[in-house]
Structure 1
Amino acid sequence: MMNYYTVKRLFDIILSLILLICLSPIFLIIAFIIRVQDGGPSIFRQERIGKKGVVFRFYKFRSMPLSTPNVESKDTKKLQITPFGKFIRRTNLDELPQFYNVLKGDMSFIGPRPPIPSQTELIKLRHINGALQLSPGLTGWAQVNSFDGMSATEKAKFDGDYASKISFGFEVLILFKTILYFTRKPPTY
């Protein structure tokens, strides 16, 4: 009999492949608009910390001007964002390329969000509570419990809770809360 992690990985592969194929027209449209807007590449790449502390390349649609340095900034309010970049960030469309990270096995649909290498306190706390042993996710327990503005200690607490309670039922709850978040999120155009 397969263990839960094997089933979870199979689910990640199948769903990410289906989504990548079905959403490919949207990917092309977004990439085209970004390219037309300032002529640069449409995909932003950044190093993130994954399962067991392994560094991997993380993908997003680029929402900042081409001239923006690839900095690790926690204060996104100080960063310049293109007009279309504001739209894709508000709608979370900038996150779509992470389906490729899921397909590759760098990430899962559900798990702690992958930190940038400079978030050393969060990484250390996740190592202590066992969350660093898991694949990072597109959404997670901390995200559905008001991730933005949380301290590293608060994030790590939710991530540790997730690591200790991981199960099919718990992940369905996180998925349901994620869907509720997106359906209740007020548009800010």
Structure 2
Amino acid sequence: MKRFFDLLLAIAAAVVLALPIALAALMVRLTSPGPALYWSDRVGRHNRIFKMPKFRSMRIGTPAVATHLLQDPKVYLTPIGSFLRKSSLDELPQLWSILVGDMSFVGPRPALFNQDDLVALRTECGVHELVPGLTGWAQINGRDELPIPEKVKLDVEYLRRQSFWFDIRILWLTFVKVIRRDGVSH
């Protein structure tokens, strides 16, 4: 049921958002050298590595670490990078990851391939059994600002409470957070 919902919603979103997706890609290409998409190595279900696309908001050559680990993340942003991140438009290419089954609309956010502490704690708690999501319970309860143990605690809560209606609630709360630009630090 969840996979069917993901496919249906991803196809509908891709059709409705085709113009904004095309415009965002064009703006990335026009404002900085390099490709419009950045393919990030992420940890998926069962700790399998997959390539997750995002609109490139950082300059070519930025270290492949979580943004909060960069000494001064703003130095690495492209001219429209901050806007893409604060509006969450950089996340739109992840519709592809949902269509191919690497991600779901709702689940724990996929860890970077080198976030060993996050991956280990999620594995210990059984969260690695879930398909990662475009948004999740931890996302709407702190996003970039959560320490790893708190993030995993919320991921475990999602693992225990997951249902269609809980996913709908998380999607609605995500929409509200994106509109308000809550929890985005860079």
TM-score of the alignment, normalized to the shorter chain, above 0.5: yes
Return the letter of the residue paired with 1:150: L
The aligned counterpart of 1:102 is 98
The aligned counterpart of 2:134 is 138
The aligned counterpart of 2:39 is 45
* 1:141-184 deviation digits (Å, cap 9, x = unpaired): 11111122211111110001111111122212212221222233
**1:63 deviation in Å?**
0.9
- Seen in structure 2, the aligned counterparts of structure 1 residues 90 and 104 have a Cα distance that, compared at 3 Å, is same
Matched, 1:78 2:72: yes
The 3-state SS of whatever aligns with 1:142 is helix
TM-score of the pair, normalised by structure 1:
0.88
**1:121 deviation in Å?**
1.6
Runs of 4+ in structure 1 deviating by more than 4 angstroms, as ranges, are none
Percent of aligned pairs sharing the same letter: 37
- Seen in structure 2, the aligned counterparts of structure 1 residues 179 and 73 have a Cα distance that, compared at 3 Å, is closer
**Structure 2: stretches of 5+ with no match in the other structure:** none
Could you tell me which of 147, 151, 159 is aligned with 2:147? 151
The 3-state SS of whatever aligns with 1:71 is coil
* 1:9-28 deviation digits (Å, cap 9, x = unpaired): 01111111121122122121
> What is the aligned length?
181
Return the letter of the residue paired with 1:106: D
The aligned counterpart of 1:4 is none
Return the letter of the residue paired with 1:179: F
Could you tell me which of 4, 19, 40 is aligned with 1:25? 19
Q: Distance in 1 between matches of 2:33 and 2:79?
A: 14
**1:70 deviation in Å?**
4.7
The aligned counterpart of 1:14 is 8
**Structure 1: stretches of 5+ with no match in the other structure:** 1-6
* 1:68-87 deviation digits (Å, cap 9, x = unpaired): 23522342562311221111
Could you tell me which of 44, 52, 63 is aligned with 2:57? 63
Higher RCO, 1 vs 2 (CA within 8 Å, ≥6 residues apart): 2
